[in-house]
Structure 1
Amino acid sequence: MTKNKYIVREEDHKSRIDKLLADQNREISRSRVQSWITDAYVTVNGKPVKANYKCQQGDLIEWIIPKAEPLSLVPEAIALDIVYEDKDILVVNKPKGMVVHPSAGHQHGTLVHALLYHCTDLSGINGVERPGIVHRLDKDTSGLLVVAKHDEAHQQLAEQLVQKTMKRTYQALVHGEIAHEKGMIEAPIGRDPKDRQKMSVVENGKEAITHFRVLRAYPDYSHVECQLETGRTHQIRVHMKYIGYPIVGDPKYGPRKTLQANGQVLHAKELRFYHPISKQPMHFSTDLPAYFQELLAYIQKLY
């Protein structure tokens, strides 16, 4: 295991060490960094510290990235819609209703369980429960995501997310008729102070930018295309609610009176990135799933 070093600069003075290290290791979650600190893989000036330690200019931070634990999840024979695969990556079209990785209440039937059955080689950067997972989709959001088969591929793809060179385009059905053709939503997102299970636009949140284009507007609904410039939790769902056009079927951010869709009508339709090893441009697109097409057909008949 290689020891990494970083000397705290003036602009990082008084930053929390867990946040600073997460920024230095952008493909790693802050919670995982906190586990490194708890397990004494991180020292400041040669001594262990707590996750809330406020860094001082000139501090020498040293940390070791521990090797991923052997996978303990049991592979499950779940069918996958694989759009592309080579020795470095997979591109999967995730169905609505599938959870991406195990979590409380979702210990079986996830995309990760299916991936482990399909291939044994997956990157270990995000730990035992998230092998290969570079970016996520919510349970009821369908569509494309890329999976890394080894750590080098994972690091390269994660850097593209940071540099905003990975392009993710979604389609959604929202409540309300949007009068203008396109727009940009730039509003910071963080935990909702009134409900920790939700995200919201908050003053001290993280930068979040969504571009949208109206594909077709109806008297009470709009079919829109959204492109993420950043990738915050629930970003499109929160942003569309924020401007007054919540996603149809969204149980968390939408109105109670909505069309029956078993969750938000949101599909990750296109994915563009550079291959992490060959550097060739990659572009993938999927058809809208049947449930989405059926809702559009229903609305067209209404008007």
Structure 2
Amino acid sequence: MGDLRSLPVPDGLEGERLDAALARLFGFSRTRAAELIASGDVLVDGSTPAKSDRVRGGAWLDVTIPPPPAAPMPVAEPVPGMTILYEDDDIVVVNKPIGVAAHPSVGWTGPTVIGGLLGAGHRVSTSGAAERQGIVHRLDANTTGAMVVAKSERAYTALKRAFKERTVDKRYHALVQGHMDPLRGTVDAPIDRHPSGDGRWAVVAGGKDSITHYDTIEAFRAASLLDIKLETGRTHQIRVHMSALRHPCVGDLQYGADPTLAARLGVTRQWLHAVSLAFDHPATGEWVSFTTDYPADLAEALDRADDS
């Protein structure tokens, strides 16, 4: 059973296409709005409309929003290439390989960190949604590096708070196109879903506050290696902010990277690695820090950038 929303069309949307008006009223993508119209979940003054119909101010909308599909449960099976950097009774820190999501989600059928830990016999916290138990932060499926998972309930609570209060030191290295000017700086620009509804995120007025600090480690002919500290942890934050500066991560074709440069450096995903993670241990209060080496594909690309 869906969620029925009924309301008049605001006068300010007079003359808009119906799919565009729905997108603005409910925060959908245009694609999602069109799907609801096509499935008969939208009525205008009691009649079934077409997505291209123009709306009239004061017309009555009845929109049934289907419940979101349930996320799949994790499949407990070892994940090749995922190594344990540290483990005790409260936390486990992994070096996440390429092509592994943090937890199951709708539309993702590949391996997950949670499934890999369970498959290797590790216990994780039971706090959080069933499909993402123990997950206190995430890395994109194709972003590699250090990631902590809570094993105890106290660790889950403490780490969730630490990430929310921004007391965790998250460091990334990114190989981006071109040369930064200035060589070091801060990007403070809000992020929300891209208006296209295609799964990307973007700098959007009114989005969630997002702050990225960067410093150039080394400049090559066509690219620069950056040390990046995240103050916030939005989805795709580094990728979005670098793209907004017109210096996308090398290989990040989703966010405007040059495919020719990616091919020359042998990169088939964004050059982005979570190089270190540091925080107050949830049990002892001691400041602990974990670092990771570049995986083979990123190290090879960096060598090629240095030679070119």
| Shorter-normalised TM range | 0.7 to 0.9
Give the aligned partner of residue 192 of structure 2.
190
Which residue, 261, 275, 281 being the options, matches 1:275? Answer: 281
Instruction: Quote the offset at 1:158 in angstroms.
Output: 0.7
2:185, 2:213 within 8 Å by CA — same for their partners in 1? yes
Q: 1:86-125 alignment to 2 at 5 Å?
A: 86-125=88-127
2:175–2:271 contact (8 Å) kept in structure 1: yes
Match of 1:62 in 2: none
Deviation at 1:102, TM superposition (A): 1.2
**Residue 255 of structure 2 aligns to a residue in which SS?**
coil
Task: Mark the structure with the bigger radius of gyration.
Answer: 2
Write out per-residue CA displacement over residues 245-289 of structure 1, whole angstroms, 9 at most, x where no aligned residue.
Answer: 000111311335231322101000010101011111101111111
The alpha carbon displacement at 1:105 in A equals 3.2
Give ranges in structure 2 of 5+ residues lacking alignment.
Answer: 1-71
Name the counterpart of 1:241: 243
1:209 corresponding residue in structure 2: 211
Task: Look up the equivalent residue of 2:243 and give its one-letter code.
Answer: K
AA matched with 1:188: P
Query: Deviations along 1:42-85, whole A, 9 cap, x unmatched?
Result: xxxxxxxxxxxxxxxxxxxxxxxxxxxxx964411334300000
Consecutive aligned runs of 4 or more in structure 1 exceeding 6 Å deviation: none
Q: Distance in 2 between matches of 1:139 and 1:129?
A: 16
1:137 paired residue number: 139
CA distance in 2, matches of 1:74, 1:138: 18
**In the TM superposition, what whole-angstrom CA distance separates every residue of 1:153-174 from its partner, at most 9, and x where no partner exists?**
1110011111111010000111
Structure 2 Cα separation of the partners of residues 103 and 292 of structure 1: 26
Alpha-carbon separation, structure 2, partners of 1:130 and 1:275: 21
Aligned counterparts of 2:200 and 2:184: Cα–Cα separation in 1:
26
User: Which of these residues, 262, 277, 292, is aligned with residue 259 of structure 1?
Assistant: 262
Q: Distance in 2 between matches of 1:196 and 1:95?
A: 25
**Structure 1 residue 193: deviation in Å?**
1.4
TM-superposed CA distance for 1:239, in Å, is: 0.3
C-alpha distance in 2, partners of 1:219/1:254? 19
SS for the counterpart of 1:165 is coil
TM-score (norm 1): 0.73
CA distance in structure 1 between the aligned counterparts of 2:87 and 2:202, rounded to whole angstroms: 36
Aligned alpha-carbon RMSD (Å): 1.6
1:185–1:211 contact (8 Å) kept in structure 2:
yes
**Structure 1 residues without counterparts, runs of 5 or longer:** 1-70
**% identical aligned pairs:** 41
Task: Give distance in 1, aligned partners of 2:106 and 2:162.
Answer: 29
2:81 matches 1:75:
no
Q: What SS does the aligned partner of 1:138 have? A: coil
**More moved, 215-224 vs 119-128:** 119-128
2:25 alignment counterpart: none
| Residues 86-128 of structure 1: CA deviation (Å, up to 9, x unaligned) | 0010000001121221123333522111111223531122222
TM-score between the two structures when normalised by the length of structure 2: 0.72
Distance 1:73 1:297 in 2: 37
Counterpart position of 1:300: 306
Structure 1 window deviating more from structure 2 (103-112 vs 162-171): it is: 103-112
Cα displacement string for residues 112-152 of structure 1 (whole angstroms, at most 9, x for unaligned residues): 11111223531122222112111000011000010001221
Cα contact 1:180–1:214 (8 A) shared by 2: no
Please give the alpha-carbon distance, in whole angstroms, between the structure 2 residues aligned to 1:120 and 1:92. 12
How does 1:220-231 map onto structure 2 within 5 Å? 220-231=222-233
Structural mapping, 1:22-171, within 5 Å: 73-79=74-80, 80-171=82-173
Cα distance in 2 between the residues matched to 1:109 and 1:95: 10
